Amino acid sequence: MEEAKKNTGIYAADFVKHGMTIGIGTGTTVYWLILELGKRIKQGLNIIAVPTSKETARLANEAGISLLDLNAVDRLSLTIDGADEIDPKGNMIKGGGGALLQEKIVAAASDELIIIADHFKLVPYLGKFPLPVEVIPFGYKQVQKKIIDSGFCEKLWLRKKNDEIFITDHHHYILDCECEKINDPVTLNSTLHLIPGVVETGLFINMANKSVIGLEDGKIEIIKYK
C-alpha cells in the first residue's frame, strides 16, 4: 500500500509545471508528492504553493517549497490532494487526517483538483469510511443529536487523539459519523450544512477533475471525471 502511495505521489509531480502556483493537500500520499517536488525544486523547478494544513506547511518548508497564504493568491492553477474514499463519479470522503476545512477551501480556489490515492480508496459508494464533520466546540453535543435525528448516520463520535479531543488547525472539533452507505451525498452534505455549529463536511462533491490511482502491480491508473 505504501508503495502504491509513493508511486502515485511521484507520478503526480509531473502535473506540476514550472511557474505554477498550486495547492498542496494533506496526508500520507501527498507526503510523497512533497518529497518529489522538493527534489525537482533542487533541480530547478520553480513553484509556489498554498498548503492545506500546518503539517503540510511544515513538510513543504522542509522540502524547500515556497509557500504563500491563500489570501495572497487570486486562483490556483492546480491542487493535488489525497482522499479517504472515492466513488465512481469522483465524489469523495476526506478529512481522515483532520484537514478537510482548509482542503475544501483550497480545492474550491483551484482550476483543477487532482486526487492521488492507492486503489483501496476506490469504492462503489461512499460511507464505509466514517464521514468527518468539522464543528464548532460550543454546543457540539447539540450538533451530534441533530445529525442522528437527520436519520442519515447511525452512530457518531467525537474524534480523539491520544485520549485528548482532536483539535483541528482552525480550533474546531471533528465528529466522525458512521453512515454505512451514503446513497445521496448531495442531500447529506446540504442537510449537514443546515445544522448550526457545522463548519464543513468531509464530502467533496463534484470537485475532482481526475484521480491518479496507484495499483497493486506498481502501475498507475488515471480516472477522469470532467
- Please give the residue ranges that form the binding site for ligand A5P (CB under 6 A): 25-29, 81-84, 94-100, 103
Q: Which residues contact 205 (CB under 8 A, 6 or more apart)?
A: 91, 185, 186, 189
Q: At residue 157, what is the residue type?
A: W
**Cα radius of gyration (the chain):** 17
Q: DSSP string of 194-210?
A: TSTTEEEESEE-S--SE
In terms of CB distance, is 9 or 197 closer to ligand A5P? 9
Shortest Cβ distance from residue 10 to ligand A5P (Å)? 14
CB of 151 to ligand A5P, least distance (A): 25
Is residue 103 flagged as an active site residue?
yes
- The neighbour count for residue 144, using CB atoms within 10 Å, is 20
Closest to ligand A5P by CB, 54 vs 89, is 54
Hey, what's the cell of 60?
A: 513543504
> How many CB atoms neighbour CB 134 within 10 A?
23
Give 42 or 161: the residue with its C-beta nearer to ligand A5P.
161
Nearer of residues 83 and 153 to ligand A5P, judged by Cβ: 83
What stretch of H or E contains 185? helix 185-193
Annotated active-site residue in 36, 85, 103, 200 = 103
In the bound complex, what is the minimum distance in angstroms from residue 44's beta carbon to ligand A5P? 28
- Supply the minimum distance, in Å, between the C-beta of residue 159 and ligand A5P: 11
Catalytic residue numbers read 103
